[in-house]
Chain A
Amino acid sequence: MKDVACRLERVTKRFGPKTAVDGVTLSIAKGSAYGLIGPNGAGKTTTFSMLAGYLRPTEGAVEVLGLKPDAVDRLRARLGVLPQDALLPASESVGDFLVHMARLQNIPQLKVRESVELALEEVDGKGWWSQRCGSLSHGMAKRIALAQAFLGEPELVLLDEPTAGLDPKVAFETRQLILAKKGRCTIVVSSHNLQELEEICDAAAILDRGRVVASGSMTDLTAANEEVRIKVAPGTSRGSQQGQVPVHKLRELPLIKSVDLDEERLEIVVYFERKSADAETVIGLVLWELLTNKVRISGVSKGRGLEQRMMDLT
């Protein structure tokens, strides 16, 4: 339990007759970046809110850093949260808001300003100190909310939809910021953006209708350690002539368990034994064979991608 940052044990949350989360059990390792994935209504935000202490579970137990989420005094400054749809106080200045947050985190009075300035610098908001929160754009407000979540270097940071509604440039910068924090604290991200989660997270849980339908490391979830997918150019077909996919030859390659060609999707799926080879070796072998046969290749990926995985499961 020492290495566990968050734990949910058979947690259920009901809102009247509706069950939003149904018997979820999860364990999130300290220092990891963990994703909560699922379609709308899957129970991501409800699970997130129970971890942050906003909601109380109807049944089951939630632990955050070994404590109940409502043990605010003992979690103070150790837990940072970016709530999805919380608005900043419109009439307050950015500086005042963050200073209050810092003071409530017990940051020593002399270091409050320094900590806030550092947090603002990290979100590229150095000149925003005296701006009213109500006058900030959506992207700026999101960054300030992110700054308060990472203020004072907490051990665990919960981020609910950190890039929702942001333009691609700001979303990219936000991802870079989160990636820069990775390894310095445990990060739990709830998001719809599967590419983002694939990029940020080491492990994840896929939720559907309030239940965990799959969980594990990102490599396991995407099957990145047991299959590779190769996209071929339009018009490519199965066969042994030049420019065609020699499926039989590929199946005879060492380390390969099986090979499928989906002619509709123009995709070759190669399955291999995870214990005897890694994806990179298999990609090398297969590409060599395909290129020898002058097959035109559009793209290569490890595993089936989180998106495909989620579509299969939900």
Chain B
Amino acid sequence: MSPTTEIRILVGRELRRGVRSTKGIAIGVLTLLGAFVAALACVQIERTDRLAAEATSTATYVELKRAAIEHATGDAALAAYIASVPSSLLVFLKITVWFLPLLVALLGFDAVTGDLQNRGVRFWTVRVRRSSYLVGKFLGLWWLVSLVTFVIDLVADVVAITRGYATFAEALGWGLRFWLVAVVIAAAWASIATFVSASYRTPMLSLLTTFAVFFVLWLFGLGGFLARVRDTVAGGVGTMARGMIWYEYLYPNAYDTMLVSPSGERAAIAVAILLGFSAALTAAGAVLFARRDL
């Protein structure tokens, strides 16, 4: 049996388990409720925004947005590109990406450590290569999170369409793009959570370490963002359009602007970095897992 077949069987099991387990169902329901409430809030924000801008039509509103973004970033291409995105969808992308680490941590902290603690892993490792087991856990977690974010995006799209702030085509195009952005970023978080989970025997330690690592990465992101705001204030508009500060690259969520960039090259670089990082960390985790005592 090839490693691919082993992984396929394991991922199928992980997904089934994820949607059937009490934890999976509880997180799914809470996420959906949260998504619905957030979608309504976003629509309300967009409505208030339009009224405040006194935009009589969507075209006028888009033009006002384009000008505002260009003024803020100094990047005309980016401004033209994202101005047509319904604000509710854009805000929703930010919310989804912001909550990704939390979702990944809650769904994935015990992915491996749970099996190590109750030694259930021993049923599996006489039948599958340990590397396949770990890769299966990573992919299972990644795809489960991707499935949850897909449902969240779907809620946002439906709300935006029904309120008339996005056409079906816009919602489909941008909705899909934003979902893919979340999927790519989720890969990085999922690989970190799986790596940490495979390093402990106690789920609580795994949870705390996962949160600690995610928090440190968030601090890098926050630090970089604040430094860029400071530079913008000092150097004027336009400096914001420059690349990220080096340590911001350590924070997966910071790639969201690169991933929605009109430049295909920038988006491709972000995809390569995030997926490359995920693959490298999962491979390292698999090597360590293969060497450890179970």
A91-B9 contact, Cβ under 8 Å, with A85-B119, A86-B122, A104-B124 = no
Interchain nearest-CB distance for B172 vs A (Å): 35
Determine the distance from Cα of A79 to Cα of B127 in the docked complex, in whole angstroms.
Answer: 9
A192 CB contacts on chain B under 8 angstroms: none
The answer to whether A184 has its CB under 8 Å from any CB of chain B is no
**Could you tell me if B22 and A91 are in contact, using CB atoms closer than 8 angstroms?**
yes
- Given A72-B129, A81-B126: A104 and B20 within 8 A (CB)? no
Residues of B within 8 A of A72 (CB): 125-130
| CB–CB A103/B9 < 8 A | yes
In the complex, the chain A residue whose C-beta lies closest to that of B124 is A104
**Contact A53 to B120, CB < 8 A, known contacts A73-B1, A103-B9:** no
B63 at the A interface (CB under 8 A): no
Question: Which residues of A from 157 to 212 have beta carbons under 8 Å from B?
Answer: none
Which of B22, B119, B127, B290 has its CB near the most chain A CB atoms (within 10 A)? Answer: B127
Q: Within residues 113 to 147 of chain B, which ones have a CB less than 8 A from any CB in chain A?
A: 118-130
In the complex, number of A-B residue pairs with CB atoms less than 8 Å apart:
69
Question: Are A81 and B122 closer than 8 Å at their CB atoms?
Answer: yes
Q: Are A83 and B128 in contact (CB under 8 A)?
A: no
Across the interface, which residues of A come within 8 angstroms of B120, CB to CB? 86-89
Q: CA–CA, A90 to B20, complex, Å? A: 12
* Chain B nearest Cβ from A93, distance in angstroms: 9
Task: Kindly identify, within residues 52 to 106 of chain A, every residue whose CB is under 8 Å from any CB belonging to chain B.
Answer: 52-56, 70, 72-73, 75-76, 79-81, 83, 85-89, 91-92, 96, 100-101, 103-106
Contact B125 A56 (CB under 8 A): no
Q: Which residues of A contact B124 (CB under 8 A)?
A: 104
Contact, CB under 8 Å: A83 / B17: no
Measured CB to CB, the nearest residue on chain A to B129 is A72
Contact residues in A for B290 (Cβ distance below 8 Å):
70
Q: Closest residue of chain B to A77, judged by CB?
A: B127
Contact of A106 among B1, B21, B22, B129 (CB under 8 A): B1
Interface string of B236-280 (1 = CB under 8 A from A): 000000000000000000000000000000000000000000000
The 8 Å CB contact of B293, one of A55, A81, A92, is A55
Give the total of A residues in contact with B, Cβ under 8 Å.
31
Would B118 and A86 count as touching, CB distance under 8 A?
A: yes
Closest to B24 in A: A91
Judge whether B30 is part of the interface by a CB distance below 8 angstroms: no
> 1/0 contact trace for B156-198 toward A, CB 8 Å?
0000000000000000000000000000000000000000000
- Verify if A148 is at the interface (C-beta below 8 Å from B): yes
State how many residues of chain B have any CB contact under 8 Å with chain A.
26
Docked-complex contact A52 and B21, CB < 8 angstroms: no
Contact A105 B119 (CB under 8 A): no
Distance A81 CA – B21 CA, assembled complex (angstroms): 26
Closest to A89 in B: B120
Q: How far is the CA of A80 from the CA of B294 in the complex (A)?
A: 17
- A116-135 interface bits toward B, Cβ cutoff 8 Å, 1 = contact, 0 = none: 00000000000000000000
Given contacts A88-B120, A91-B21, A106-B1, contact A56 B291 (CB under 8 A): yes
**Contacts A53-B125, A81-B126, A105-B127 known; A91 to B20 CB distance under 8 Å?**
yes
Q: With the chains together, A197 CA to B1 CA distance in Å? A: 36
Q: Are B293 and A56 in contact (CB under 8 A)?
A: yes
Residues of chain A within 8 A (CB-CB) of B127 are: 72, 76, 101, 104-105
Q: Tell me the bound Cα distance from A89 to B21 in angstroms.
A: 11
CB-CB < 8 A to A79: which residues of B? Answer: 126
B71 at the interface (CB under 8 A from A): no
Min Cβ gap A67→B in Å is 12
Chain A residues near B21 (CB-CB < 8 A): 91
A38 to B291, CA, bound (A): 28
Which residues of A sit under 8 angstroms from B6, Cβ to Cβ?
104
Extra pairs beyond A89-B120, A92-B17, A105-B127 (11, CB < 8 Å): A53-B125, A56-B291, A73-B129, A76-B1, A79-B126, A80-B126, A87-B118, A91-B21, A101-B127, A103-B9, A104-B6
11 contacts between A and B (CB under 8 A): A49-B293, A54-B293, A70-B130, A72-B126, A76-B1, A76-B127, A83-B119, A91-B22, A104-B1, A145-B123, A148-B123
